[in-house]
Structure 1
Amino acid sequence: MANITHRVSQQTYEVETPPADASIETLSEYYWTKEAEPHAARRKEILAKHPEVTKLTGHEPLTKWLVAMVVVLQFSVAYYLRETNPFTLKFFALAYVIGATSNQAIFLAIHELSHNLLFKKPLANKLFAIFTNFPIGIPYSASFTPYHQLHHKFQGDEYLDTDLPTRFESIVLLNVLGKVFFATFQILFYALRPMFITNIRFTYIHLLNVVAQILLDLAMVKMWGWNSFFYFIMSSFLAGSLHPCAGHFISEHYVLNKNNVPRRSISATEKENVSPQLLPAETYSYYGSLNLVTWNVGYHNEHHDFPFIAWTKLPELKRIASEFYDPLPQVDSWCRVLWDFCFDDVNTLWCRVKRPGSERHGSRIRGLDKN
């Protein structure tokens, strides 16, 4: 198995993987647990042993200039393709190689902005995110921020962590064709799923995001034509489809391959508390070369442990606290993750750690985005 490696000896699970033709009850259930998510405890231990990591926190001024370069690159390619038929190999190749890679970087720049890691003031980060959003083609940045805050604050919560697949998705997309469909259109699942699970307050930042994006799109269509706008849309779609950089969506929190410990058959409504001895890791880091174009998002355990450390300093965090991170299971290839997720029977949308939530949490999200 190539995509997950253990740097030190880990516990061995004395269980057998269920066959692909096992009953739906055997194959289809999440890792339900009442254990706390691992990041708060590890952060506390790291700070106790390495208090110097607090010096790594704070915004990274360099990032805004790099983001601006990516935005300019996308507009330049859109202008270049203004008279090129979208249904040509040239258009698709540029959209896949340059456009998708750039827009994935833009998605993840908005991720950095959601943690206020480009500017000191939160409002400056929100406004710059609206500018960063332009090559995506549709308004996205204002909604992403509060949903992503929920992902960090309530990781694994069945109601508040909208990164988790729904039971409907997990049932309908269980087989190979379903998983290939999910991997191909995963950007749509991540964009639309939150609206069906948790409501957030619509603020003036959302309105500004929508108005600015629509005005930009209309101006671009009027000056350059529809082909340029379609380049933005195709780039965004491909960025979250079967693209090497899109592997991070699945690699970050899905329990894949050897870490996927088969569960006993339980009822669909039972919230089983998986034993800590059988509970797999639920966040996975990747340290490969694609981090160079994705703001080190592969350092995902490090990011969840210290979400206020900017991308440029995450490798230093790993170096300082290597005894905490080296033993964790790691992802070696985002491309391999996509392949194994689609074609390995044991890997499904059920392979996530979930925690029983409560709709009472809904009241807690009202103050998440006040600007």
Structure 2
Amino acid sequence: MTEKLSGMNGMVPPNRHKEGVSKNASKDHKIYWTYTEEPHKSRRAAILKAHPEVAALNGYEPKTKWVVLSVVFIQLTCATLLANTNPWNWKFFFTAYFIGAFCNQNIFLAVHELTHNLAFKRAMHNRMFSLVANLPVGAPFSASFRPYHIEHHRYQGVEGMDTDLPTTLELILFDNVLGKAFFCTFQLFFYAFRPMFVRQLPLTTLHFWNILVQLSFDFLVIKYLGWRSMAYFFLSSFMAGSLHPTAGHFLSEHYNVNHTRLIQEGPGKDTPLETFSYYGPLNILVYNAGYHIEHHDFPYVPWTRIAKVRELAPEFYNNIPECKSWSGIIYQFITDSNVGMWCRVKRKQKSELSN
């Protein structure tokens, strides 16, 4: 990330928040607790007031379904071609890393687009198509991802509600180089299983269909292509969430690795930033997922128009520190002793903030 600390006044109006309470995270490795409100709602209001034309960017993108189907086809083709290849063969490994992982990261973020109803006009069509997008991942996740992700937007940073936050146990176990390397290698499992330990949500009919469709697909793959093809899907998913360039987006989105703070006057000053964007070339492979501040500000703008948000309201984005490299942030996260899982912002629920 770069340290562009000047000119932050355009980010949030100075009288927006209550006074925050902080600890120096870089010295005592403690999560920053704030008593300010979640920042993106107020930013959205300020941006729309200054640039009402941004609202016209909301809507769905019909092109998404064709990209998803193309990626699913690529993965099916690779799985078919590797059906008789030993998983320990370098060709199998390299294909999974250099093709499969990019494809399945694309799938992960396609499901993210579908979660926000950004591929079809009707919500149900987005839900059903997410089951198709899910297929090359190997395990059903799309139905579970949606409710947790919606809560991540609604309750960003709220302990016990935002399951994107690391747990206390994770903070204790992984506060060293080896621990952080382990987390980055297996972070897909943490994102998959952490929600079930933090906040269990009820199963729905969509969960049932997700499981049924996925298991039926897996059965057909194993029956007609063999277990090696199924192993290819799982290995692609694992690598997509491991030490892979595109996996850097998990860290770049909300980890404040430079301990940068919002510079402004009045209540809420000196509040740590908690959402960051990446504007590099890998965005073309993952539905512009790097535009993460813009996405939290306007979650119903699809990937083909999200860059336009920054273009129309530059004063709200140009001076915010940005992640320059997803590979670089993984390396920094693991090796820098002043960076860790504690580089996050937590807050109380809104009802507690008002007390």
Listed one character per residue, the Cα deviations across residues 55-114 of structure 1 (whole Å, up to 9, x for unaligned) are 100000011101110011000000000000001111000000000000000000000000
Per-residue deviation, 1:280 = 1.1
2 CA distance for matches of 1:151 and 1:311? 19
2 CA distance for matches of 1:112 and 1:210? 20
**Letter of the aligned partner of 1:126 in structure 2?**
R
Cα distance, 1:57–1:4 mapped onto 2, change above 3 Å: same
2 CA distance for matches of 1:359 and 1:209? 35
Per-residue deviation, 1:8 = 4.0
Answer whether contact 1:299 1:314 (CA < 8 A) is retained: yes
In structure 1, the partner of 2:346 is: 354
1 CA distance for matches of 2:351 and 2:173? 25
Per-residue deviation, 1:201 = 1.4
Per-residue deviation, 1:49 = 1.0
In structure 2, the partner of 1:196 is: 197
In structure 2, the partner of 1:311 is: 303
Q: Are residue 134 (structure 1) and residue 135 (structure 2) matched?
A: yes
Per-residue deviation, 1:10 = 5.8
SS in structure 2 opposite 1:354? strand
Answer whether contact 1:159 1:358 (CA < 8 A) is retained: no
TM-score (norm 2): 0.91
Per-residue deviation, 1:38 = 1.2
Cα distance, 1:7–1:27 mapped onto 2, change above 3 Å: closer
Within 5 A, what are the aligned runs for 1:176-255?
176-255=177-256
**Letter of the aligned partner of 1:354 in structure 2?**
K
Per-residue deviation, 1:279 = 1.9
Match of 1:298 among 290, 310, 314: 290
Within 5 A, what are the aligned runs for 1:48-87?
48-87=49-88
Cα distance, 1:260–1:179 mapped onto 2, change above 3 Å: farther
TM-score (norm 1): 0.87
Q: Are residue 337 (structure 1) and residue 329 (structure 2) matched?
A: yes
1 CA distance for matches of 2:305 and 2:261? 31
Match of 2:2 among 1, 4, 23: 4
Within 5 A, what are the aligned runs for 1:155-174?
155-174=156-175
2 CA distance for matches of 1:18 and 1:249? 20
1 CA distance for matches of 2:172 and 2:324? 28
Answer whether contact 1:159 1:357 (CA < 8 A) is retained: no
Structure 2: gaps (5+ residues):
10-22
Per-residue deviation, 1:29 = 1.7
In structure 2, the partner of 1:324 is: 316
In structure 2, the partner of 1:116 is: 117
**Letter of the aligned partner of 1:319 in structure 2?**
E
Listed one character per residue, the Cα deviations across residues 270-307 of structure 1 (whole Å, up to 9, x for unaligned) are xxxxx833321100001000001010010000000000
Per-residue deviation, 1:357 = 4.0
Listed one character per residue, the Cα deviations across residues 102-127 of structure 1 (whole Å, up to 9, x for unaligned) are 00000000000000000011110010
Answer whether contact 2:261 2:270 (CA < 8 A) is retained: no
Kindly report the root-mean-square deviation, in angstroms, between the aligned alpha carbons of the 2 structures.
Answer: 2.1
Answer whether contact 1:250 1:337 (CA < 8 A) is retained: yes
**Letter of the aligned partner of 2:105 in structure 1?**
Q
**Letter of the aligned partner of 1:315 in structure 2?**
A
Percentage identity across aligned positions? Answer: 48
**Letter of the aligned partner of 1:323 in structure 2?**
E
**Letter of the aligned partner of 2:223 in structure 1?**
K
Cα distance, 1:125–1:327 mapped onto 2, change above 3 Å: same
Cα distance, 1:359–1:107 mapped onto 2, change above 3 Å: farther
Within 5 A, what are the aligned runs for 1:4-23?
4-6=2-4, 8-9=6-7
Answer whether contact 1:7 1:326 (CA < 8 A) is retained: no
**Letter of the aligned partner of 1:74 in structure 2?**
Q
**Letter of the aligned partner of 1:139 in structure 2?**
P
**Letter of the aligned partner of 1:72 in structure 2?**
F
Answer whether contact 1:56 1:313 (CA < 8 A) is retained: yes
Cα distance, 1:35–1:17 mapped onto 2, change above 3 Å: closer
Q: Work out the number of aligned pairs and report it.
A: 336
1 CA distance for matches of 2:180 and 2:79? 32
**Letter of the aligned partner of 2:139 in structure 1?**
I
Answer whether contact 1:5 1:332 (CA < 8 A) is retained: no
Name segments (4+ residues, structure 1) moved above 3 Å. 7-11, 16-19, 357-360
Per-residue deviation, 1:258 = 4.6
2 CA distance for matches of 1:159 and 1:209? 26
In structure 1, the partner of 2:16 is: none
